[in-house]
Amino acid sequence: MITQPFSSLVTQVFDTYWSFFPNHIAPQIHELFCQEKDNNMEENLLDVCCGSGHLGKYFLEKGFSVTGIDLSDQAIKLAKEKTKDFGSQASWIKANASDFDLNQKFTLAVSTFDSLNYLEDLNALENCFKCVYKHLLDKGFFVFDLYTAMGMKKLNNFSIDETETLTSIFRGFYDGKSEKAFLKISGFLKTNNKYYEKFEDNLTLHVFQISIVEKILRENNFKDVRYYKIGSDKLKQIEFPESLERVMICARKN
């Protein structure tokens, strides 16, 4: 992730068992981009907090050039392995979402799976917006999702899921008032040598008020800020983002 990348084993678990969300949201973002983009726009993607490359691979298969950044060495390694057949069409770089300079411009930037909630504060979020804006071509799009305060309340829970190869335990806490929520992901993963290996990550998520997020976007020259609900097969524009547990936000440069 960003200032707190997942451990190597948790990254592997996400890649193998919990890839539903990026695979689900990728075609919805692609459809939105195709509907909104100018006809002569290039098709190149910047994936901020790219994880192990599931979303990026979808866009590669659609003919995009893709650059992904993440702080996790394991995520970058898995993304490279997953997309090796695409050659120079794909580039995966270890970098911080709040402080990166790739010397390249893109028509579409994305950040999904509530990755930006893991940034440490509003300053880090604004720095991320500035970096993304710098890397967008004129009229380029930035599409990202965030957990809202309502969504954070669902983290205030305890759950266990068991299969033959994976036992995962989620412990979350959010008091409904503060700016931070806490999540512990732990469990046991069956490895290639048929033994079970323990994993454990303790994570902090920041609860960003969506109205403040929009204000920061506009202060950094993003225009046409819109909100979307993630559907079963397409994004649906909405007016009241705090009514959702997770909201997709789309903003445009110039």
pLDDT digits (tens, 9 = 90+) for 87-134: 999 999 999 999 999 999 999 999 999 999 999 999 999 999 999 999
Determine the Cα angle at 52 with ends 72 and 242, to 5°.
Answer: 90
At residue 32, the pLDDT reads 97
CA–CA dist 29, 23 (Å, integer): 11
pLDDT above 70 coverage of the chain, percent? 98
Long-range Cβ contact pairs of 75-78 (< 8 A, separation 24 or more): 75/5, 75/6, 75/11, 75/15, 75/50, 75/51, 78/11, 78/12, 78/15, 78/52, 78/53
The reply to whether CATH 2.20.25.110 applies to domain 151-206 is yes
**CATH 3.40.50.150 assigned to 8-148+209-253:** yes
Q: What is the DSSP letter of 6?
A: P
| Cα 148 to Cα 146: distance, rounded to the nearest angstrom | 6
Whole-angstrom CA distances from 30 to 49, 56, 74, 185, 231 are 18, 11, 26, 30, 14
CA distance 166 to 187: 7
d(CA 34, CA 3): 32
Q: What is the pLDDT of residues 171-191, one digit of tens each?
A: 999 999 899 999 999 999 998
- For residue 51, the 8-state DSSP code is T
Q: pLDDT tens, 150-168?
A: 999 988 999 999 999 999 9
What ranges do the domains of the chain cover?
Answer: 8-148+209-253, 151-206
Asked whether the whole model's pTM tops 0.75, one would answer yes
7 CB neighbour count, 10 Å cutoff: 15
